[in-house]
Amino acid sequence: DAGVIQSPRHEVTEMGQEVTLRCKPISGHDYLFWYRQTMMRGLELLIYFNNNVPIDDSGMPEDRFSAKMPNASFSTLKIQPSEPRDSAVYFCASSFYQWYSGNTIYFGEGSWLTVV
Amino acid sequence: AQTVTQSQPEMSVQEAETVTLSCTYDTSESNYYLFWYKQPPSRQMILVIRQEAYKQQNATENRFSVNFQKAAKSFSLKISDSQLGDTAMYFCASLSYTGANSKLTFGKGITLSVRP
Protein backbone atom coordinates (compact mmCIF):
# COMPACT_ATOMS: atom_id res chain seq x y z
CA ASP A 1 0.00 0.00 0.00
CA ALA A 2 1.24 3.47 -0.87
CA GLY A 3 0.30 4.95 2.48
CA VAL A 4 -1.21 8.38 3.06
CA ILE A 5 -0.01 10.73 0.33
CA GLN A 6 0.23 14.46 0.85
CA SER A 7 1.16 17.26 -1.48
CA PRO A 8 2.96 19.53 -1.69
CA ARG A 9 5.75 18.41 0.65
CA HIS A 10 7.00 21.96 0.98
CA GLU A 11 5.42 25.27 0.10
CA VAL A 12 6.58 28.82 0.55
CA THR A 13 4.00 31.49 -0.09
CA GLU A 14 3.48 35.16 0.53
CA MET A 15 1.13 36.48 3.14
CA GLY A 16 -2.34 36.92 1.76
CA GLN A 17 -2.08 34.16 -0.81
CA GLU A 18 -4.34 31.15 -0.92
CA VAL A 19 -2.79 27.82 0.05
CA THR A 20 -4.25 24.42 -0.77
CA LEU A 21 -2.90 21.25 0.80
CA ARG A 22 -3.93 17.90 -0.59
CA CYS A 23 -4.28 14.43 0.83
CA LYS A 24 -4.99 10.98 -0.50
CA PRO A 25 -5.84 8.57 2.33
CA ILE A 26 -5.08 4.88 2.35
CA SER A 27 -7.55 3.03 0.18
CA GLY A 28 -10.38 1.57 2.24
CA HIS A 29 -9.90 3.90 5.19
CA ASP A 30 -13.02 5.81 6.07
CA TYR A 31 -11.65 8.28 8.60
CA LEU A 32 -9.44 11.17 7.58
CA PHE A 33 -7.76 13.67 9.89
CA TRP A 34 -5.92 16.94 9.44
CA TYR A 35 -3.34 17.86 12.09
CA ARG A 36 -1.07 20.87 12.42
CA GLN A 37 2.31 20.76 14.13
CA THR A 38 4.14 23.82 15.46
CA MET A 39 6.90 24.26 17.99
CA MET A 40 4.68 26.32 20.25
CA ARG A 41 1.49 24.27 20.18
CA GLY A 42 2.70 20.80 19.25
CA LEU A 43 0.31 18.57 17.32
CA GLU A 44 -3.25 19.82 17.07
CA LEU A 45 -6.22 18.12 15.46
CA LEU A 46 -7.85 20.56 13.07
CA ILE A 47 -10.70 18.52 11.64
CA TYR A 48 -11.69 14.98 10.87
CA PHE A 49 -14.04 13.27 8.44
CA ASN A 50 -15.93 10.02 8.50
CA ASN A 51 -17.12 8.68 5.16
CA ASN A 52 -16.35 12.07 3.61
CA VAL A 53 -18.50 13.95 6.14
CA PRO A 54 -16.86 16.42 8.55
CA ILE A 55 -17.46 15.19 12.09
CA ASP A 56 -15.54 17.63 14.25
CA ASP A 57 -14.02 20.88 13.05
CA SER A 58 -13.64 22.49 16.46
CA GLY A 59 -9.88 22.57 16.01
CA MET A 60 -9.99 24.73 12.89
CA PRO A 61 -8.39 27.95 14.07
CA GLU A 62 -10.57 30.44 12.23
CA ASP A 63 -12.66 31.09 9.15
CA ARG A 64 -9.57 31.41 6.99
CA PHE A 65 -9.25 27.64 7.21
CA SER A 66 -11.54 25.26 5.36
CA ALA A 67 -11.40 21.57 4.58
CA LYS A 68 -13.28 19.41 2.12
CA MET A 69 -13.49 15.76 1.25
CA PRO A 70 -15.35 15.44 -2.05
CA ASN A 71 -14.76 11.69 -2.25
CA ALA A 72 -13.21 8.81 -0.33
CA SER A 73 -9.81 9.23 -1.93
CA PHE A 74 -9.18 12.94 -1.72
CA SER A 75 -9.24 15.79 0.77
CA THR A 76 -8.06 19.38 0.77
CA LEU A 77 -7.17 21.86 3.47
CA LYS A 78 -7.34 25.44 2.29
CA ILE A 79 -6.05 28.60 3.93
CA GLN A 80 -7.27 31.88 2.50
CA PRO A 81 -5.76 34.38 3.09
CA SER A 82 -2.61 32.89 4.56
CA GLU A 83 -0.69 34.58 7.39
CA PRO A 84 2.84 34.06 8.75
CA ARG A 85 1.43 32.45 11.90
CA ASP A 86 0.02 29.66 9.71
CA SER A 87 3.56 28.43 9.07
CA ALA A 88 3.62 24.84 10.31
CA VAL A 89 3.75 21.24 9.22
CA TYR A 90 0.31 19.99 8.26
CA PHE A 91 -0.32 16.27 8.54
CA CYS A 92 -3.05 14.23 6.99
CA ALA A 93 -3.84 10.86 8.54
CA SER A 94 -6.33 8.10 7.90
CA SER A 95 -7.73 5.08 9.66
CA PHE A 96 -10.19 2.28 9.38
CA TYR A 97 -13.77 2.20 10.62
CA GLN A 98 -13.91 2.08 14.42
CA TRP A 99 -10.72 4.06 14.82
CA TYR A 100 -11.94 5.12 18.22
CA SER A 101 -11.48 1.54 19.35
CA GLY A 102 -7.78 2.11 19.20
CA ASN A 103 -7.06 1.16 15.62
CA THR A 104 -3.88 2.62 14.21
CA ILE A 105 -4.02 6.05 12.65
CA TYR A 106 -1.59 6.25 9.73
CA PHE A 107 0.05 9.57 8.99
CA GLY A 108 1.30 11.08 5.77
CA GLU A 109 4.74 12.66 5.55
CA GLY A 110 3.36 16.14 6.09
CA SER A 111 3.24 19.38 4.15
CA TRP A 112 5.69 22.00 5.40
CA LEU A 113 4.14 25.43 4.91
CA THR A 114 6.06 28.66 5.25
CA VAL A 115 4.19 31.94 4.88
CA VAL A 116 6.45 34.98 4.46
CA ALA B 1 -11.09 16.99 28.13
CA GLN B 2 -7.89 15.05 27.76
CA THR B 3 -4.42 16.34 28.46
CA VAL B 4 -1.08 14.69 27.86
CA THR B 5 2.10 15.98 29.49
CA GLN B 6 5.65 15.19 28.52
CA SER B 7 7.81 17.21 30.87
CA GLN B 8 11.24 16.25 29.52
CA PRO B 9 11.99 18.19 26.33
CA GLU B 10 15.00 16.07 25.40
CA MET B 11 17.07 13.10 26.44
CA SER B 12 20.24 11.41 25.34
CA VAL B 13 21.33 7.79 25.62
CA GLN B 14 24.35 5.76 24.65
CA GLU B 15 23.87 3.18 21.94
CA ALA B 16 22.91 -0.26 23.33
CA GLU B 17 21.74 1.20 26.64
CA THR B 18 18.20 1.51 27.96
CA VAL B 19 16.23 4.74 28.19
CA THR B 20 12.84 5.59 29.65
CA LEU B 21 10.64 8.40 28.35
CA SER B 22 8.01 9.77 30.72
CA CYS B 23 4.41 10.72 30.05
CA THR B 24 1.45 11.59 32.23
CA TYR B 25 -2.09 12.06 31.09
CA ASP B 26 -5.43 13.12 32.42
CA THR B 27 -8.84 11.99 31.31
CA SER B 28 -12.24 11.65 32.88
CA GLU B 29 -13.11 8.73 30.66
CA SER B 30 -13.01 5.15 31.87
CA ASN B 31 -12.33 3.74 28.44
CA TYR B 32 -9.22 5.05 26.74
CA TYR B 33 -6.11 4.12 24.81
CA LEU B 34 -2.55 5.33 25.05
CA PHE B 35 0.05 5.47 22.32
CA TRP B 36 3.65 6.32 21.68
CA TYR B 37 4.46 7.70 18.23
CA LYS B 38 7.94 8.21 16.81
CA GLN B 39 8.78 11.10 14.50
CA PRO B 40 12.22 10.75 12.87
CA PRO B 41 13.82 13.65 10.97
CA SER B 42 11.77 12.65 7.93
CA ARG B 43 8.74 13.94 9.91
CA GLN B 44 6.77 10.74 9.34
CA MET B 45 4.64 9.83 12.36
CA ILE B 46 5.11 6.15 13.15
CA LEU B 47 3.17 4.21 15.77
CA VAL B 48 5.57 2.57 18.22
CA ILE B 49 3.27 0.95 20.74
CA ARG B 50 -0.30 1.01 21.97
CA GLN B 51 -1.92 0.26 25.35
CA GLU B 52 -5.58 -0.32 26.11
CA ALA B 53 -6.44 1.15 29.52
CA TYR B 54 -8.60 -1.81 30.49
CA LYS B 55 -5.64 -4.15 30.13
CA GLN B 56 -3.41 -4.42 33.16
CA GLN B 57 -0.59 -6.10 31.29
CA ASN B 58 1.98 -3.69 29.93
CA ALA B 59 2.31 -3.69 26.15
CA THR B 60 5.59 -4.72 24.52
CA GLU B 61 6.83 -4.52 20.95
CA ASN B 62 10.30 -5.98 20.51
CA ARG B 63 12.70 -3.52 22.17
CA PHE B 64 9.89 -1.18 23.19
CA SER B 65 7.78 -1.63 26.30
CA VAL B 66 5.59 0.54 28.46
CA ASN B 67 5.10 0.97 32.17
CA PHE B 68 1.42 1.77 32.52
CA GLN B 69 0.42 3.00 35.97
CA LYS B 70 -3.29 3.64 35.71
CA ALA B 71 -3.85 5.07 39.18
CA ALA B 72 -0.99 7.49 38.74
CA LYS B 73 -2.03 8.21 35.13
CA SER B 74 1.49 7.53 34.01
CA PHE B 75 2.55 5.92 30.74
CA SER B 76 6.30 5.69 30.22
CA LEU B 77 8.13 4.16 27.27
CA LYS B 78 11.21 2.04 27.77
CA ILE B 79 13.57 1.50 24.86
CA SER B 80 16.03 -1.33 25.40
CA ASP B 81 19.26 -1.83 23.48
CA SER B 82 18.99 1.65 21.97
CA GLN B 83 19.97 1.96 18.31
CA LEU B 84 21.06 4.95 16.29
CA GLY B 85 17.85 4.67 14.30
CA ASP B 86 15.88 5.34 17.47
CA THR B 87 16.99 8.98 17.30
CA ALA B 88 13.73 10.86 16.83
CA MET B 89 11.06 12.84 18.53
CA TYR B 90 8.66 10.71 20.58
CA PHE B 91 5.07 11.69 21.25
CA CYS B 92 2.78 10.27 23.85
CA ALA B 93 -0.91 10.37 22.91
CA SER B 94 -4.22 9.47 24.45
CA LEU B 95 -7.54 8.56 22.92
CA SER B 96 -10.67 8.46 25.00
CA TYR B 97 -13.49 6.32 23.83
CA THR B 98 -16.52 8.56 23.63
CA GLY B 99 -17.86 7.13 20.42
CA ALA B 100 -17.51 8.89 17.11
CA ASN B 101 -16.33 12.12 18.68
CA SER B 102 -13.13 10.74 20.16
CA LYS B 103 -9.92 12.62 19.54
CA LEU B 104 -6.29 11.61 19.64
CA THR B 105 -4.53 14.13 21.89
CA PHE B 106 -0.74 14.44 21.74
CA GLY B 107 1.85 15.61 24.26
CA LYS B 108 4.47 18.13 23.18
CA GLY B 109 7.03 15.43 22.49
CA ILE B 110 10.53 14.59 23.63
CA THR B 111 13.63 14.63 21.47
CA LEU B 112 15.72 11.50 21.95
CA SER B 113 19.30 11.36 20.74
CA VAL B 114 21.16 8.06 20.63
CA ARG B 115 24.94 8.53 20.83
CA PRO B 116 27.26 6.13 19.02
What mean pLDDT, rounded, does chain B reach? 91
pLDDT of residue B32: 84
CA dihedral B73→A47→A76→A110, nearest 10 degrees, is -20
Amino acid letter for position A105: I
Residues B41-53: tens digit of each pLDDT: 888 899 999 998 8
- CB A113 within 8 Å of CB A86: yes
Which is higher by pLDDT, B95 or A44? Answer: A44
Section B5-21 average pLDDT? 96
Which is higher by pLDDT, B99 or B6? Answer: B6
Q: Do B52 and A110 touch (CB under 8 A)?
A: no
Q: Which residues pair with A30 in a beta bridge?
A: none
User: Is the CB of A96 inside 8 Å of chain B's CB atoms?
Assistant: no
pLDDT beneath 50: ranges in chain A = none
Query: With 0-12 CB in 10 A as exposed, 13-18 as middle and 19+ as buried, what is A57?
Result: middle
CB contacts, 8 Å: A45 with chain B: 103-105
Q: Do A43 and B91 touch (CB under 8 A)?
A: yes
pLDDT of residue A13: 97
pLDDT of residue B58: 95
pLDDT of residue B44: 84
> In sequence order, what are the residues at sequence separation of 6 or more whose Cβ sits closer than 8 angstroms to the Cβ of residue B9?
B108, B110, B111
Closest alpha carbon to A76 in A2, A10, A19: A19
